Amino acid sequence: MAANVPLSALRTRVRYWADAEQQATSGRYSSDEVKYRINLACKRLFNMLVQARGHGYYSKDTAWSPLTSGQALYQLPADFFELECLTVTDGSDRIDLETWQEGERAFLHGSGQGASAISELYYRLKGGAFELVPAPASTGWSYLLRYVPTSPDMDAETDAFDGINGWEEWAVLTVAIGMKDKDEADVTVLASERDRIEAQIAAMAAERDALRPDHILDVAGDWASSSTFC
């Protein structure tokens, strides 16, 4: 369940922790400066949460899109950050593709005739796109991306950050610490509270997918190919 907190609320909480409630109009900590610091801290928190919980918190799926016979390169979404999986279907079977390494290109290209079955496809990220080797040689195939989007900048007061379970307080404290550092004030209490929250986030990494422990995947295609692990 999302726990979206608007920029206006984050800024208010920052000023509270930094003992700067009365400085919004004094010029010492302008709203623009606080907003800039909040966006930076939220991006750092976003990366921590993605790393701690895999991609479960923020992942999203694209719509199914067609693969074109003979075409190897396909654009990634504009807000793409990290890929969780790339699923391909031929209309009946569905598989999650494996990646290929540069040294395997010649081998995978084979005769240069292209892939006649989705099980022959491999992918690799390439800039703002992904490349399939060999290129599809059939029609009627489609793909779906499950990925983590970038953390968008908040600009309007109603723009919000999803702190998932109150973790946005880490970002709030980070900004408040930076503001108090600017005044050479003591940040011991704030740093201690932030360390406590950071330790909780780190602990989640050890508990990741506790209900779904590691298991063996059939990467050779010996099991039913209609399964997907995405």
Q: Residue 139 in contact with residue 69, Cβ under 8 Å?
A: yes
3-state secondary structure 103-155: HHHHHHHCCCCCECCHHHCEEEEECCEEEEECCECCCCCEEEEEEEECCCCCC
Opening angle at CA 104, ends 103 and 110, nearest 5: 135
What integer is the mean pLDDT of 177-204?
A: 92
Q: In the predicted model, what is the mean pLDDT of the chain? A: 84
Of the candidates 72, 77, 74, the residue with the CA atom closest to the CA atom of residue 120: 72
Residue found under tokens 């892939």: 115
Of the candidates 134, 159, 1, the residue with the CA atom closest to the CA atom of residue 72: 134
Token output for 94: 């569905």
What pLDDT score does 203 carry?
A: 84
What integer is the mean pLDDT of 127-136?
A: 92
Range from 66-80, 136-150, 193-207 carrying the lowest mean pLDDT: 193-207
| Whole-structure pTM value | 0.78
What pLDDT score does 19 carry?
A: 86
Q: What is the DSSP code (8-state) at residue 46? A: H
Of the candidates 176, 180, 152, the residue with the CA atom closest to the CA atom of residue 81: 152
b/e per residue 26-48 (b: at least 16 CB within 10 A): eeebeeeebbebbbebbbebbeb
SS3 assignment, position 34: helix
Sequence-distant (≥ 6) Cβ neighbours of residue 87 within 8 angstroms = 94, 95, 96, 97, 143, 144, 145, 146, 228, 230
β-strand partners of 123:
99, 132
Query: In the chain, what are the domain boundaries?
Result: 4-56+153-206, 60-149
Identify the helix (H) or strand (E) that includes residue 60.
strand 60-61
- What percent of the chain stands above pLDDT 70? 79
- 1-40 confidence digits (pLDDT tens): 568 999 999 999 999 999 887 665 556 788 899 999 999 9
Whether pLDDT at 160 is above 80? yes
